[in-house]
Amino acid sequence: MPGEVSEFRGLDMAERMLPVRRYKTRIVDKVRLNRVTLIYAETGSGKSSQVPQMLLEEGLAPILCTQPRRLAVMAIAKHVAKDLNCTLGELVGYQIGQLNMTTSKSQIVFKTAGILLEDLRASGIAALSSYKVVILDEVHERSVESDLVLCCVKQFMLRNSRIRLVLMSATADFNKYEEYFKEISRDERVEVIAIPSIVSQLQQAMLP
């Protein structure tokens, strides 16, 4: 709930300065207003660890986040748990293979696309019904599993108007995703937010 998780709790100064943090208000507002939000963020912007936290801080939880690889799932889940000063497996959890480090109280859950696909096959729309926001990160790293997840999520969103979807990448062609999701709701936009990296901002600042 808003106010239950303090902004910046556990974050060091470097993380507070990450480019994505400057876009918090815009990201949260767009996710609330639109069913599909596309975040283009260069490597080093902090999108993978900070976007779930910012949504949690503003009451847009529970949140499901997918990563294409197991190591990324574990690493980012540990990072976020440290930021939030919580025990991994409680407020923040993850699931890979047969290892399920989540509870019914977990508000940010990280999984691989393969695990989510298994959940969708087993439970259908019920696999997503407990989440307010689904984040599919690194969508440019396409695979058969990730493409099937994207297709299933779209079909379930057509039947469940409550689910919000966030797609994130540093290199994806978001024009294709805008076209793919445009039929979700004719009254809402597929919003695109572009976030530069710290390096890009420094380079821009140094231009004469």
Domains and CATH numbers, the chain: 13-206 (3.40.50.300)
Q: Mind listing the pLDDT tens digit for each residue in 106-147?
A: 999 999 999 999 999 999 989 999 999 999 999 988 889 999
3 state DSSP class of 17: coil
Residue 71's Cβ-count burial label (10 Å; 0-12, 13-18, 19+) is exposed
208 pLDDT band, cuts 50/70/90, is low
Taking residues 171-192, report their average pLDDT: 80
Tokens standing for residue 79: 């990072």
Contact between 106 and 138 under an 8 Å Cβ cutoff? The reply is no
The predicted model scores a pTM of: 0.87
Among residues 170, 93, 165, the alpha carbon closest in space to that of 134 is found at 165
pLDDT in tens, 43-80: 778 899 999 999 999 999 999 999 999 999 999 999 99
pLDDT recorded at residue 63: 98
* Percentage of residues of the chain with pLDDT beyond 90: 60
φ, ψ of residue 30 to 5 degrees: the values are -70, -35
Cα–chain center distance at 189: 18
